[in-house]
Structure 1
C-alpha cells in the first residue's frame, strides 16, 4: 500500500508540475484544488465502484447463516460493528473488504465458498475483517 501511495502522490505531483509548465504558475491553486477534489471523489466513490465492479449482492442470513454467525462472533470479540456481507460471482475464488471500521463491507465469491472448507473460509473472512478493523 505504501508503494501505491507513493506512486499516486508522484502522479499528482507530476500532473501539477505539467500544469504549471503548460499554463504558468497561475494554475497552481487550481491544480491543488483539483487534486484535492479528485482525492475526495475517489474516497467517496471507491467503495461503490468496487462493489459494483464485481456485481456484489447482499448475502442473506438464510443463504449462509454460518458465515453471518462467525462474523457476528468475531465482531463481538473485537468490539467492532458488524460489516455488511456481500456475495459475488467473480469467476475465481476471492474475497475482499472495502470501507472502514463502522462502515465496512466484506465481499466473498461464491467460488471461494464452494472451494474452501468451513475453517479455511473462516480464516479468509477473519483476514478480511482485519482490513476494516
Structure 2
C-alpha cells in the first residue's frame, strides 16, 4: 500500500494490546475457575521450530489458551486454573490432571475411542453396546 510504519510503532502497539488484554485474560481465568464444569486438554505444536504444548481450558462460554514448553504439571500450574478449581474437570484421563483436588470426568470422545478399541481388539460386545 506504500505506507511505511516504523518497527517501534508496531512494538508499542503490541505492548499496548498485551496490557489491555491482560485484564480480559484474568477475567476469563476467574470465570473458568468458578465454573461448575471445565474441559482441559493439550496438544503439541511448534513454536520457532521447537516442540511446545498448547494447553486449553474451556466451558460453553470461555476459553483460555496457554502455549508452554512443558506438557505436564508445570504448564498446568502456569495456566493458573486447575490448581484452584473445585468443580468437575473433564479431560482425557492423562495422569497429571488427576492430582488436582477437584472432581474428575473422562472426556466422552476419549471414552468412545477406548470403547471402540475394546470392541475391535477384544471383540467385547458390551463395549459396542455402550458406545
Shared fold per TM-score greater than 0.5? no
Please state which structure has a larger fraction of its residues in strand.
2
Write 1 or 2 for the structure with the bigger share of helix: 1
